[in-house]
Structure 1
């Protein structure tokens, strides 16, 4: 009998970790960090309910931090198996995990130097060395080619859209077939491929980030242009907190389209995130994983001025001229964008533009909900700038698109498990699946086990 337990991503949109157990073997699907609310972040410091050394393999659907960011700690705490991922996910994980380890070391050092941490001394959850050790355990898997996992399981990855390398994971083990959606992307996205259909499964584990809403209809290029136009007319700067992998590249594409249409004039565009720049370079390395032709890819990547070093980033912050600045992180939880927010959020001329999901407990969610001040590096920063949102630019499938993917199954699975969503989103998707597909659907609780 196959046993399924969600050790993360249950009742929340972060920390995805889903455990499969059969005949004494254990496979973990995704291994993400909890982000956002403090009570969730604190779970990263708690030991897993099972020993990492008892896990035989990890299957990684994609490299975003909420799906991969716990891997360095898992390895440090004793995991010795392989981490199965697509080639592009492996390359993206090199960027994300090294950056995560580096930022955690720097944040701890900064907190100790400034003395604003309650912990004496403040320590990182893990560092760059731990990230390197995790990356050594990766084993690359091609899309659509079955591979054997420990314990006799078979894995097949299919395109999920969303970001470079993102996959759905089809696992057959002990005569039971369970499919994990990972994070599904959008249909007809101009950059990423459509989520590939899956037609058969005994069980489905589906994300529900936008399980209770649909994305705004309309031309995202026109909407983006409108925000930039009105901000520049005020003499202001547009700051776009963007996920370094996925959103940053899609934004460059839309900005390229605006520039091509003569909408941006001489307004400079900056990509101020070393990781975003490196992730953009990966578009060239993994051309089969996206829609852009080599010529368009080159043009899109050339639309912005790239700033890798700190002094160039400081110069952007110091400049009073109108401009567009794309900088990580996407929920304003860390990275260079915090310095830009400190400089530009207090001025009404400027705009803070969000283009992706903002989890509860993040500065991004607070600003989206109207917060008039945010805490950065121990001090309170007033938010007087316009705060705008372009959900149509999201890389996540909305409720209709999730249902479209689920509708591709020829037969009803025995059960659908709804994960990776805030409670109202997961519950809304559960109800919709039951009403429209007449499937049995469940929203698992943290650490709740199911015999399949």
Structure 2
């Protein structure tokens, strides 16, 4: 801070700028330092390498962390932040706290497991390979969480207050309406879809001096087709040729939406003899949480139970391994959604070479991930140090995305009754963000720009 000016409020982009992942935004006032989101970088190796770099600010100097939602690109750096000296509160919604209770320990566990596997197989250039943080680190970080309800304005640090509103997207996801030393700063987090059968519509916000808006699908529109019909067609042709449908899925949100649509198809009498497996302990636990947090979504407890009543849960490792010995057609939903780790890697080693089977990509695939490689039509993908041939059909169902598309993002922006002084376009690949910046300027007449990584701006 400038010692000669006590009225400065600044915003620094430590992640989520010029890329989709690694969300970290620092708000500094004369009295406090707030970090909004604390995510991991994912995708390309050069981005993942940032997770190992020290932050340009001392974690111990941060007063409070505010989370928009639980996905790891928004929350996954927290265990390392706490391990590095952060001792303040983590403010989030109740749903986000519940999901982080699953996601963060699982992230630590997977990193430990991947490090052990790399050391055992010897395919890492590091000797020894180490995890970024451990499961124990994650559990320690969870002690800092302080959940708060939607709709209540609360003081989170001296001179700084926030209010959470529904963002849709996933359980507990929120926009952040912050007032910091008189400046009103709104963070969109990740916005969901309008008319989603599970999640609420993104809640309108009337006003902001400064706005950070995501642009994951800032240059795209989702197909105007019924997801159940497309999914039904995929299942039918796969089963007819004797194959299995393998769906890499985000354990939080996407897995529950897929189960909802598959259940609706089966209630019409279709594929009732084709077993459906949820092959992810975290997705299983998240599905159970969905029934416990009905205030955060559209479904009643009865509707939740109906949607996944006949699903076979493979929580234990041995049950998961047995899936590869079942030769008859089946539907397997397994994490992770971008095929970056977890059980889906073992499923793909078994089913990607099978020309009868189908791999269904049902969400956004960041550049540099195996999911993006599959969508590009790569015929070989690297898993656990080995190259696996891809002979299975690969299908993209981007209408199932939990992210608002360009029109929906503009619809949410249109709910503001006055123009922000400046709109920062974040959370997007370079082309998507720049395209959306132009759309905002053309259609709304707002001042909008794409910030650079580690850029610092003063808010007048």
TM-score (normalizing by structure 2):
0.98
Classify the secondary structure of the residue corresponding to 1:251. helix
Structure 1 residue 381: Cα displacement: 0.2
CA distance in 2, matches of 1:180, 1:138: 20
Structure 1 residue 106: Cα displacement: 0.7
User: 1:214 — aligned with what?
Assistant: 221
CA distance in 2, matches of 1:315, 1:37: 32
Classify the secondary structure of the residue corresponding to 1:149. strand
CA distance in 2, matches of 1:67, 1:107: 21
Deviations 1:134-169 (A, max 9, x none): 100000111000110112201100000000000000
User: 2:242 — aligned with what?
Assistant: 235
User: 2:77 — aligned with what?
Assistant: 70
Deviations 1:350-392 (A, max 9, x none): 0000110000000000010010000000100000100000000
Deviations 1:320-364 (A, max 9, x none): 110000000000000000000000000110000011000000000
In the alignment, is residue 205 of structure 1 matched against residue 212 of structure 2?
yes
404-413 or 298-307: bigger deviation: 298-307
User: 2:391 — aligned with what?
Assistant: 384
Retained in 2: the 8 A contact 1:156–1:171? Answer: yes
Classify the secondary structure of the residue corresponding to 2:158. helix
Equivalent residues in 2 for 1:304-383 (5 A)? Answer: 304-383=311-390
CA distance in 2, matches of 1:20, 1:146: 18
Structure 2 residue runs of 5 or longer lacking an equivalent are 1-7
Superposition CA RMSD, Å: 0.6
Deviations 1:225-276 (A, max 9, x none): 0001000001000000000000000000000110111122311100000000
Retained in 1: the 8 A contact 2:247–2:361? Answer: yes
User: 1:22 — aligned with what?
Assistant: 29
Classify the secondary structure of the residue corresponding to 2:359. strand
User: 1:440 — aligned with what?
Assistant: 447
CA distance in 1, matches of 2:78, 2:94: 17
In the alignment, is residue 58 of structure 1 matched against residue 65 of structure 2?
yes
Classify the secondary structure of the residue corresponding to 1:332. coil
Structure 1 residue 2: Cα displacement: 1.3
Equivalent residues in 2 for 1:28-107 (5 A)? Answer: 28-107=35-114
Structure 1 residue 24: Cα displacement: 4.5
In the alignment, is residue 127 of structure 1 matched against residue 134 of structure 2?
yes
Match of 1:420 among 418, 427, 449: 427
145-154 or 394-403: bigger deviation: 145-154
Deviations 1:283-339 (A, max 9, x none): 111011111122211111213100100111011122111000000000000000000
CA distance in 2, matches of 1:25, 1:351: 51
Match of 2:261 among 254, 261, 275: 254
Structure 1 residue runs of 5 or longer lacking an equivalent are none
User: 2:151 — aligned with what?
Assistant: 144
CA distance in 2, matches of 1:91, 1:136: 12
Structure 1 residue 401: Cα displacement: 0.5
TM-score (normalizing by structure 1):
0.99
CA distance in 2, matches of 1:191, 1:363: 28
43-52 or 16-25: bigger deviation: 16-25
Retained in 2: the 8 A contact 1:252–1:303? Answer: no
CA distance in 2, matches of 1:36, 1:449: 24
Where do 4+ consecutive residues of structure 1 move more than 4 Å? Answer: none
